[in-house]
């Protein structure tokens, strides 16, 4: 293993929930999931709002006090030392053979807090900085103040509740606060490996234009930042290795002498130091003092060695310095009057380095990747409109090409078309990606637009425009084609002509799946469909397509891996979003799917919130560990063995209708549970004893989640009755359809004599 420490770069789950959740009752765990349900408080809405507004007023009062306390501390202690300590302990996690630890070395501090600290430091001139290293109690004081400051800013927003009178105003306010909370607390739009690859491929197209303007290209920025990150991680790892060897010494004398032999940690006479140690000091206390004293030298980890970075990247030192200069801000360059804006649009996002005139201080090189879109927009801002237009075209072309390649790799046997043009009468339309696999159609729209700075701050008009451009318009486009396919299936001649021109036989299509893919992360808006409609920002009769960013789509396809699982996830992602109050990002949804196959649709969203943040942990651990060079087993979908074998066998055989069969089986996975095997085995034994008894049940029906339009029937028969199996199973299916009102029944037949096989036959039965 190369690193002992790595920078935490997983997508951090938002700590923000609906405002009402702050005053909800204690959560109770659901038995089969690992998620939590938060029942609404019985508190009257007006009383609830009054308490939230009161909390907001108190938070507004605290904001300037907390800022003043932090700035006073920065004027007593050397700010870069404080920043280096928090960046080191708050943003790095240990690596072992078991992978990357899910917690950093310092709990409670994340990248947003350290970003905020860096911005506050830059509001002071260098002659206002304190000069001595901070003591441990001062570092703890800073941690507490930073956490309180971040919380106070968010809670201060509650005062706006008093301004919202109408239902649509309140819904719009909730949307704005969700976006503000997401912007304030959530970092990273993908795992480091994917972010690095996408950044290189996407922005490399700007190299020539940027080099002409700045003397360095986009690739230079990315490679310098990557080298800086590796350098920080390696030096931090080596530092902890050396400290570990010191504190493992058995005696006080051995520990002190080993410490003083490290010139990077301390200088002086170890014997003189030993004479000052009271006899009552324990070995553990001495080790703690040594670790604390060594922290004074953490500052060195964040000082850039431009020559070393030039060597590591194979670039001229002048290029490295020009990149650092462009990514830097100087002490005093930010105004204290702008502190309230730092939470929603921190200036260091586009310039995360500090230049003191003598050296470059870069404690968080990962910021370049977390905010690569902001960094590149900043660089483009000074260039011509022609270059900016070129970037817009490049983003669109890149996204569509990447989506096409990802889907082609995930569905090698599908018929896939990109940039599909079609018409209804004189109206002309285009679908970005159209994928046809068996009886399933996947319609994908790719939108490469970006969130503006105003949008990140939650400005109502700008957020509404983003919703229209990035969520509503692609959803309308995909829904339009889905409606044409549905009309063709019902016999409309004009629609049949359209879909036939696309190579689709609508008569045999059972499932149409819609998906929108973006470059940047819009998960917090996309998951608020009910609120968007309540605010009047989305038409009530439009079902939004699930919207995922490119990096998350890659994770979904890789983790689920099997075409049947991927189709089922995409087919039900929107229904789950609409029918339940799940709160989490896309990879939390993926983690939730791995546990449940989205089979908990009986829980309505009318009176409950489901906080699923954190369910992405197995996915986070897999990718962050892989990026750190540790190979872990890929997270897998939890399924009863019987269903898993049936689904994979249907997929392997690939007979007509296999996608419909597989999706129906996955629809019942959560409800069937592990008892399915026992129930089928009991049925088999009963049928074997009484094969000719007309009163002996031969089938078992399993209802799926309410949003599924299929029902599954298992039919058990002996070999001697094979000749009548189709007739009997078909009548069984018709009876079930009549009782359930479902659109189709998927029948899975199992012969007693070949019970070891996943199934003997499958059939899709429709009412009538």
Write the pLDDT tens digit of every residue in 681-713: 999 999 999 988 888 889 999 988 777 899 999
- Last residue within a domain, chosen from 627, 659, 687: 627
pTM: 0.88
Q: Is the pLDDT of residue 51 over 50?
A: yes
Strands 699-702 and 710-717: antiparallel
Eight-state DSSP code of residue 25: P
Q: Which domain holds residue 658?
A: 641-765
Per the structure, the count of domains in the chain is: 3
Tokens of 375: 């960094």
Q: Is the pLDDT of residue 127 over 60?
A: yes
CA distance 534 to 531: 5
CA distance 172 to 643: 43
> For residue 466, what pLDDT is reported?
80
CA atoms within 13 A on the CB side of 246: 24
Q: Looking at residues 509-536, what average pLDDT do you find?
A: 85
List the beta bridge partners of residue 516: 445, 547
How much of the chain exceeds pLDDT 90, in percent?
Answer: 59
Same domain, 359 and 445: no
Average pLDDT of the chain is: 86
- Residues 250-290: pLDDT tens digits? 999 999 999 999 877 887 888 998 888 888 889 899 988 88
In this prediction, residue 576 has a pLDDT band, given cuts at 50, 70 and 90, of confident
Nearest in space to 220 (alpha carbons), one of 233, 235, 231, 207: 207
CA distance 603 to 90: 38
Eight-state DSSP code of residue 414: S
Q: Is the pLDDT of residue 9 over 50?
A: no
Sheet holding 5-7, edge to edge: 5-7, 92-96, 99-100
> Is residue 11 one of the residues assigned to a domain?
yes
- Last residue within a domain, chosen from 383, 408, 427: 383
Same domain, 688 and 757: yes
Q: 225, 661 in Cβ contact below 8 A?
A: no
> Is residue 636 one of the residues assigned to a domain?
no
Helix, strand or coil, per DSSP, at residue 608? strand
Q: Is the pLDDT of residue 1 over 60?
A: no
> For residue 650, what pLDDT is reported?
97
Q: 721, 691 in Cβ contact below 8 A?
A: yes
Whats the size of the chain, residue-wise? 768
CATH number at residue 460: 3.40.91
> Is residue 35 one of the residues assigned to a domain?
no
Same domain, 135 and 278: yes
In this prediction, residue 357 has a pLDDT band, given cuts at 50, 70 and 90, of very high
In this prediction, residue 166 has a pLDDT band, given cuts at 50, 70 and 90, of low
> Is residue 200 one of the residues assigned to a domain?
yes
Same domain, 376 and 406: no
Same domain, 404 and 360: no
Sheet holding 511-518, edge to edge: 415-424, 427-437, 440-447, 511-518, 547-549
CA distance 505 to 660: 15
- Residues 617-633: pLDDT tens digits? 999 999 999 988 899 99
Angle formed by the axes of helices 306-313 and 317-326, to 10°? 110
Same domain, 585 and 664: no
End-to-end CA separation in angstroms for the chain: 63
List the beta bridge partners of residue 93: 6
Q: Looking at residues 42-63, what average pLDDT do you find?
A: 68
Q: 523, 547 in Cβ contact below 8 A?
A: yes
> Is residue 633 one of the residues assigned to a domain?
no
Same domain, 434 and 478: yes
Same domain, 303 and 173: yes
175-185 burial, b at 16+ Cβ within 10 Å, e below that, comes to bbbbbbbbbbb
Q: Is the pLDDT of residue 43 over 80?
A: no
- Residues 421-450: pLDDT tens digits? 999 989 999 999 999 999 999 999 999 987
Nearest in space to 100 (alpha carbons), one of 198, 241, 197, 2: 2
Look at the alpha carbons of 264, 267, 269, 272 in this order and tell me if their dihedral is positive or negative: negative
Sheet holding 328-329, edge to edge: 328-329, 353-355, 360-361
Same domain, 95 and 61: yes
Same domain, 564 and 668: no
> For residue 108, what pLDDT is reported?
79
- Residue 196 CA: distances (Å) to CA of 201, 369, 538, 555, 720: 9, 7, 34, 14, 61
Same domain, 298 and 418: no
- Last residue within a domain, chosen from 383, 407, 422: 383
> Is residue 19 one of the residues assigned to a domain?
yes
CA distance 146 to 109: 8
Q: Which residue carries 């400005």 as its tokens?
A: 459
> Is residue 591 one of the residues assigned to a domain?
yes
Same domain, 402 and 470: yes
> Is residue 33 one of the residues assigned to a domain?
no
């Amino acid at each position: 293993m190369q690193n002992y420490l790595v920078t935490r770069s997983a997508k951090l789950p938002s700590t923000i929930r609906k405002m009402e959740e702050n005053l909800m009752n204690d959560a109770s765990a659901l038995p089969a999931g690992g998620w939590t349900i938060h029942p609404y408080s019985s508190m009257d809405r007006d009383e609830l709002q009054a308490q939230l507004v009161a909390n907001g007023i108190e938070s507004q009062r605290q904001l300037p006090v907390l800022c003043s306390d932090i700035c006073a501390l920065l004027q007593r202690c050397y700010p870069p030392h404080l920043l280096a300590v928090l960046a080191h302990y708050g943003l790095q996690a240990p690596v072992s053979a078991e992978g990357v630890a899910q917690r950093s070395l310092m709990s409670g501090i994340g990248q947003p807090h350290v970003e905020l600290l860096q911005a506050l430091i830059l509001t002071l001139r260098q002659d206002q900085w304190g000069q001595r290293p901070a003591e441990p109690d001062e570092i703890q004081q800073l941690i507490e103040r930073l956490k309180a400051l971040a919380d106070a800013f968010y809670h201060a927003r509650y005062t706006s509740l008093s301004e919202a009178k109408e239902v649509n105003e309140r819904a719009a306010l909730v949307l704005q606060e969700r976006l503000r909370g997401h912007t304030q607390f959530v970092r990273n739009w993908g795992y480091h490996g994917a972010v690095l690859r996408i950044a290189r491929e996407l922005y490399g197209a700007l190299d020539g234009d940027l080099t002409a303007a700045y003397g360095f290209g986009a690739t230079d920025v990315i490679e310098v930042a990557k080298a800086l990150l590796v350098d920080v991680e390696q030096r931090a790892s080596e530092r902890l290795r050396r400290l570990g060897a010191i504190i493992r010494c058995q005696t006080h004398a051995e520990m002190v002498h080993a410490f003083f032999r490290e010139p990077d940690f301390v200088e002086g006479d170890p014997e003189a130091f030993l004479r000052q140690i009271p006899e009552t000091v324990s070995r553990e206390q001495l080790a703690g003092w040594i670790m604390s004293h060594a922290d004074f030298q953490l500052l060195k980890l964040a000082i850039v060695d431009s020559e070393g970075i030039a060597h590591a990247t194979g670039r001229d030192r002048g290029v490295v310095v020009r990149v650092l200069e462009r990514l830097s801000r100087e002490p005093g360059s930010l105004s204290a009057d702008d502190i309230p804006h730092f939470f929603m649009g921190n200036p260091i996002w586009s310039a995360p380095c500090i230049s003191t005139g003598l050296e470059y201080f870069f404690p968080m090189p990962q910021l370049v990747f977390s905010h690569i879109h902001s960094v590149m927009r900043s660089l483009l801002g000074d260039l011509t409109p022609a270059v900016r237009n070129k970037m817009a075209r490049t983003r669109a072309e890149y996204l569509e090409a990447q989506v096409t390649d990802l889907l082609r790799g995930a569905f090698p046997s599908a018929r896939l078309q990109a940039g599909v043009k079609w018409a209804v009468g004189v109206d002309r339309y285009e679908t970005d990606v159209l994928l046809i696999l068996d009886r399933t159609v996947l319609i994908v729209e790719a939108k490469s637009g970006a969130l503006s700075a105003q949008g990140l701050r939650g400005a109502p008009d700008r957020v509404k425009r983003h919703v229209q451009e990035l969520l509503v318009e692609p959803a309308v486009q995909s829904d339009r084609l889905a409606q044409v396919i549905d009309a063709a299936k019902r016999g409309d001649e004009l629609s049949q002509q359209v879909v036939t021109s696309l190579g689709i036989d609508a008569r045999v299509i059972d499932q149409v799946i819609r998906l929108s893919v973006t470059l940047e992360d819009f998960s917090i808006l996309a998951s608020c469909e009910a609120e968007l409609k309540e605010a009047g920002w989305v038409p009530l009769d439009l079902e939004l397509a699930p919207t995922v960013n490119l990096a998350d789509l890659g994770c979904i396809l890789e983790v689920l891996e099997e075409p049947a699982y991927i189709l089922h996830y995409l087919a039900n992602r929107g229904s789950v979003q609409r029918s339940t109050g799940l709160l989490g990002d896309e990879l939390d949804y993926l983690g939730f799917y791995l546990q449940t196959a989205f089979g908990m649709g009986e829980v309505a969203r009318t009176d409950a919130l489901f906080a699923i943040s954190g369910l992405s942990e197995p996915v986070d651990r897999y990718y962050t560990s892989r990026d750190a060079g540790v190979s872990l087993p890929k997270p897998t979908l939890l399924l009863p063995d019987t269903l898993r074998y049936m689904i994979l066998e249907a997929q392997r055989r690939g007979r007509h209708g296999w996608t419909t069969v597989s999706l129906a089986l996955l629809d019942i996975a959560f409800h069937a549970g592990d008892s399915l095997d026992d129930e089928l085995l009991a049925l088999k034994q009963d049928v074997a004893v009484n094969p000719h008894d007309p009163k002996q049940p031969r089938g078992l029906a399993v209802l799926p989640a309410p949003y599924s339009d299929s029902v599954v029937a298992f039919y058990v028969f002996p070999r001697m009755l094979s000749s009548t199996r189709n007739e009997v199973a078909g009548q069984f299916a018709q009876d079930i359809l009549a009782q359930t009102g479902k659109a189709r029944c998927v029948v899975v037949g199992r012969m007693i004599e070949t019970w070891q096989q996943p199934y003997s036959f499958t059939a899709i039965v429709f009412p009538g």
